[in-house]
Amino acid sequence: MGDNKRKRGRKPKNPSPETLETTTTAAITTIAAEPSPSNNDDDFSIGNVELIDNNTASSQLVRSRGRGRPKKLPTVPDKNPAGRRVTRGVDSNGAVPTVPVEVGGAITMDADPIWESVSARVMPSMDSVVKVFCVHTEPNFSLPWQRKRQYSSSSSGFVISGKRVLTNAHSVEHYTQVKLKKRGSDTKYLATVLAIGTECDIAMLTVDDDEFWQGMSPVEFGELPTLQDAVTVVGYPIGGDTISVTSGVVSRIEILSYVHGSTELLGLQIDAAINSGNSGGPAFNGKGNCVGIAFQSLKHEDVENIGYVIPTPVIMHFIKDYEKNGGYTDVILSFDGIDIANDGTVPFRHGERIGFSYLISQKYTGDDAAIKVLRNSNVLKFNIKLDGHRRLIPAHSKGKPPSYYIIAGFVFSTVSVPYLRSEYGKDYEYEAPVKILDKLLYAMPQSPDEQLVVISQVLVADINIGYEEIVNTQVVGFNGKPVKNLKSLAAMVESCDDEYLKFDLDYEQIVVLRTKTAKAATLDILATHCIPSAMSEDLKS
C-alpha cells in the first residue's frame, strides 16, 4: 500500500492508464476563430524559464545566484577562431543548445544558425498566408422558414497557383460574404468561393481584384512528412492581429476522424499549438514547402498541444478533383484491388500500416476499380465503375437551406446530421430517438431521391389538439401510400381530395385530419407565427 500511496499536492501530469481511456470521449473540435478575442492569456514569468545546455562549463554560468554583486565569471577559452563555423549537437529532446556569452556582466544568447536557416526558408512563404474574414448566416432547422442571426469569424488561408486561395471548409460554411487581407495590408478584398469540400474540410477561393495578387507568390507543396519531422504552422490565431508562427514535430500519421466532414481520411497529428483562427493556415516543413493545412485540435483536460493537419495527399486530391470536374465530388468507397488485412489495414510505407479507408480518398467519381470479394466461401473479382456514396441521413446540407412543409400546424422536415445537431446538440448520437439513430448508422437509400421525413414539431392550434407532443417522429405513409421524400408528401397532401388526411407515423402512431378544415386552418396558423409560406422554395418547383 505504501507504493500506491501518493503524496498530497498537485496531480501527476502524466495520465494513468485509466485516464487514457477518457480520450475516447475527448472533444476533437474544429478551430474557427471566435467572434471576439479573449484576454485569458497566461502571464509569462521569467522565473519559469530555465536554460539548459550540454556544455558543463557554460552551464555553470546560468545557475541562480544569491543576493549581492555577481561573482566574476571565469574566462572561457575561445574555441572558435575567426572564420571557422561551429557545428553543434542536439540534446536529448532534439533541441539545439545555445551558448551563453557574457557581455558587460550580462549573459546573452547567440543566434542559432540552424533555426535561422529554417526561418529563412519559411519567411518568404509567410507572405502568401492571408487572413480570411467571413460573415456566416446559418439555417435554422427548428424554424426552417428563417435563418439564424448572422455572425462573423476570422481564420487563415494561403495562396496556391492559378490565383487561388485554400482555407478550411468550416471557415466559410454558410457564408454570406468572404473577404481576404494580405499580410501587412489594411485592405480587405472581396473573395469568391470556387469550391467547398465538406468531407475533406477544404475550400478554394479566388479574388477578382488584380491588386490583391500583386507581390503574392504561391506556396509550393512538399511530400508527406515522416514521424518527428519538424513542421511550422503559420496563421492568424486568436490573441492578436499579426501573423503567428508555432513550431513542432509530426507525432502521428494515421486515418483521422474529420469532425466537420464526418469522414475518416489521412491526417497528421502534431505537437505545435493550434488555436482558434489557425484554421486554414499552412503547415511548412524545414524546406519552406507546405505539407498540410491546420484544421482541428484535441480539447481535453488531460492533453495539451495536440493539433491536426490535413496532409498534402488529401489537398492534392481536392485540387485535382476541382480541376478535373469543375467542382468537388464526393469521396468513393472502394477496395481498389488491394488486399486488406483482418484488422482493416493496408500497407502504407516501410514498417507502417494504415486504415483501408486511405484507399477511399484516392478515388474519384467515375473511376474504374478492381475489387475482390469473399462470397459463399468463394473469392470473386469484379471490375466496376465507381459512383458517389449516399446515406439515407446525409452528413451535410451542402449549404442549402432546410426544406419544410406545413399543414394544420404540423411541420414536416427531413433529417440530416446538421438537423440532429441543431435539435439535440453535439451529443445528438446519444440524445436523438433510437430509431433515427439506427437509420443514421445503418440505413441506405433505396432510391436516389429517398429522404427520411419527420414531423419536427406541432404549432399548437385548435385543429391539432391531442397531437402537440409529437416531435421528430418519422412519417412512413400518407393515405395508404409510402412516403419517399418530402416533395412527394407535399404534392400528395396539396392534391388530396379525400375527406381525411391520414398520416402513418413511426411507433404505430396515426394522425387523422379533416382535409378542408386542415387546409383552411393552415393560413391562420401561418399568420399567427409570421411564416411567409407553407412550404420551402425547393418544394414549389
Active site residues: 170, 201, 279
Residue with cell 399568420: 527
Distance CA 451, CA 447 (A): 9
Do 139 and 404 touch, CB atoms closer than 8 A?
no
Length of the chain: 541
355 has which bridge partners?
A: 345
- Distances in Å between the Cα of 484 and the Cα atoms of 449, 474, 502 are 8, 11, 16
Is residue 406 within 8 Å of residue 531, measured between CB atoms? yes
**For residues 404 and 145, is the Cβ–Cβ distance under 8 A?**
yes
DSSP-assigned letters across all residues of 235-257: E--TT-SS-EEEEEEEEEEEEEE
Pairwise CA distance, residues 160 & 154, whole Å: 20
Which bin fits 294, alpha (ψ -120 to 50), beta or left (φ > 0)? beta
List, in sequence order, every residue forming a beta bridge with 284; answer none if it has no partner: 232, 290
Closest CA relative to residue 488, chosen from 529, 442, 438, 453 = 453
What is the radius of gyration, based on Cα positions, of the chain?
29
d(CA 194, CA 476): 39
Phi-psi region of 462 (alpha: psi -120 to 50; beta: other; left: phi over 0): alpha
Give the whole-angstrom CA distance, residue 416 versus residue 405: 16
User: Is 346:354 a contact under the CB 8 Å cutoff?
Assistant: yes
3-state secondary structure 347-399: ECCCCCEEECHHHHCCCCCCCEEEEEEEECCEEEEEEEECCCCCCCCCCCCCC
C-alpha cell at 371: 475489387
> Taking Cα atoms as reference points, which of 432, 451, 322, 474 lies closest to residue 394?
451
Output DSSP code: residue 305.
Answer: S
CB 90 within 8 A of CB 54: no
Task: Count Cβ atoms within 10 A of the Cβ of residue 66 and give its class: 0-12 exposed, 13-18 middle, 19 or more buried.
Answer: exposed
Quote the CA–CA distance of 387 and 394 in Å, as a whole number.
16
Q: Cα separation of 333 and 521, whole Å? A: 48
